[in-house]
Amino acid sequence: MADEFAKGFGILMTAGLGWMIIAGWYQTHGFEETQLFGERPSDPGVYAEIALTVGDALFWFAIFGALTFWIVIPAGRKLRAEIESRSA
């Protein structure tokens, strides 16, 4: 169980850091304004659009990756063990 927690935590921290860097560059317009969740640039260039897409992907990967290792995989193992114990 500890290795699943470490993998999920590693995904959460790495992808979360990547998302925060990209969101800080492109979606934070000033200290007094909304930070990290501000409006996207109105007319981004090609590279800015790629960076914003990668940032969105990192955000969702951080959430779903951590939940997969913390909830889905341990629940699947418990379910498989329960099914095997009932069939024996």
State pTM to two decimals: 0.83
Alpha-helical segments (H) within the chain: 2-26, 46-67, 73-87
**Residues constituting the chain:** 88
Cβ–Cβ < 8 Å for 75, 10: no
pLDDT in tens, the chain (88 residues): 789 999 999 999 999 999 999 999 998 888 888 888 888 888 889 999 999 999 999 999 999 999 999 999 999 999 999 999 998 7
Cα-atom radius of gyration of the chain, to the nearest Å? 19
